[in-house]
Amino acid sequence: AAAAPPSDETALDAGRMRWGALVVLAVAGMGVAAYLTYTYWADEVVACGGVANCEAVQQSEYSAIAGVPVALLGGLAATALLSIALGRLAGLALAVEWASLATLGLTTASVAFAAYLTYVELFVLEDICLYCVALACIFTVSWLISLGDSFLARDISPGPE
């Protein structure tokens, strides 16, 4: 016998879990990006615990675009992701209509940029920054969630009161 399709309540819970996971990932991304941005502008050593050479990556010519640290760009992307996810969870009309597409676009661009930076770390600088890898992983998982949401999207907005 074929399994019964998931109930509307199960689909709603799964949607809330996906958007809630994006909130958690966005906050984590903001934290990582904030730390790297602070160390860049404060000219502080990045605490990498001797596991990688974060400082070499942070001091490279690839760590900023027109004087703006790429970590700040990651932080702005994470902040945008947080805003979209919270708006979607709150059931804001514009977010309900556009959140899946906006999140997919934002995370796709973020993953592409993180892939480029990871390439630079591995093959140009020949050093790796654990924080950069963490941010790349955060955006990759966010992208996978948003990709899934684009195909599994259901209305999770609060019902009329």
Helix, strand, coil share of the chain (percent; to 5): 75, 0, 25
What pLDDT is attached to residue 154?
52
**64 has which bridge partners?**
69
What pLDDT is attached to residue 82?
98
Q: Which two tokens stand for residue 161?
A: 């009161």
Taking each helix axis from N to C terminus, what angle separates 130-152 and 8-42, rounded to the nearest 10 degrees? 160
- Distance set, CA 7 to CA 13, 14, 144 (Å): 10, 11, 23
Residue pLDDT, tens place only, 43-71: 999 998 888 889 899 999 999 999 999 99
What pLDDT is attached to residue 116?
97
Please determine, for residue 115, whether its predicted confidence score (pLDDT) is greater than 90: yes
Residue pLDDT, tens place only, 72-114: 999 999 999 999 999 999 999 988 889 999 999 999 999 999 9
Torsion of CA 22, 24, 25, 26, to 10 degrees: 80
